[in-house]
Amino acid sequence: MKNTLFEITKQEKNRILEMHKSATIKQYLMEGDIDSRKTILEILKVSDEITKKNNLDFSKFTDDDKDMFMKVGDLQSTAGGTFMRLFGKNLFDSLDNLLQMSLDGITKQEKLKEFIYVVTKTIKDNFSTDENGFLDLKTDLENFNISLNKYELQK
């Protein structure tokens, strides 16, 4: 026989879950949140633009810029390797189509969740994400990408 200490109504359960969700929404990626996934993919697009710049004079980089460039490279490498392992495709050829990707079947859904988890963890491990989270990081990376123009090699 089951000994119940207390019973939580469905309304109370939903209220508690909603409180937790609102308290942690900026801290944790929600699996089904298309906007969060879109922002992460936009971050990956900017990281790809940054690392494709091959006309930069790296000897003139400040220490902070070197550190940021290496973090962006690590993010891109981790994301690209994980995507290749899970889907057998080049991530940076697939970014525009990724959100529209057909998720017919549990295997693809689980793979996409794993990919988003790995990328999210890499972002949190390498970049400080404050209360505005990924949106601030996207803006920071876009600004960093623009600031790299000062390091372009003269022709």
Is 74 inside any structural domain? yes
DSSP annotation string for 117-153: HHHHHHHHHHS---TTTHHHHHHHHHHHHHHGGGGBP
Please indicate whether residue 99 or residue 79 has the higher confidence score (pLDDT): 79
pLDDT digits (tens, 9 = 90+) for 98-154: 656 555 555 567 788 888 889 888 888 888 766 566 778 888 899 999 999 999 987
pLDDT at 113: 81
Q: Tell me the whole-structure pTM to 2 decimals.
A: 0.69
| Strands (DSSP E) found in the chain | none
Distances (CA, A) of 25 to 30, 32, 36, 125: 7, 12, 10, 18
pLDDT at 79: 92
What is residue 60's DSSP assignment?
Answer: G
Phi then psi for residue 152, to 5 deg, are -65, 140
What is residue 87's DSSP assignment?
Answer: H
As a whole number, mean pLDDT of residues 15-28 equals: 59
Confidence label for 28 from pLDDT (cuts 50, 70 and 90): very low
Checking if the pLDDT of 30 tops 50, the result is no
Is 71 inside any structural domain? yes
Is 3 inside any structural domain? no
Confidence label for 29 from pLDDT (cuts 50, 70 and 90): very low
Q: Total domain count for the chain?
A: 1
pLDDT at 32: 44
The CA distance from 50 to 69, in Å, is 8
Q: How far is CA 110 from the centre of its chain?
A: 17
pLDDT at 52: 87
Is 66 inside any structural domain? yes
Computed over every residue of the chain, the mean pLDDT equals 78
Counted residue by residue, the chain has a size of: 155
Residue written as tokens 């793979």? 111
Checking if the pLDDT of 24 tops 70, the result is no
pLDDT digits (tens, 9 = 90+) for 32-76: 456 677 788 888 889 988 988 888 998 999 999 999 999 999 999
Is 5 inside any structural domain? no
List the beta bridge partners of residue 152: 56
Is 4 inside any structural domain? no
> Where in the sequence is the domain holding 46, given as residue range(s)?
10-151
Is 83 inside any structural domain? yes
Is 141 inside any structural domain? yes
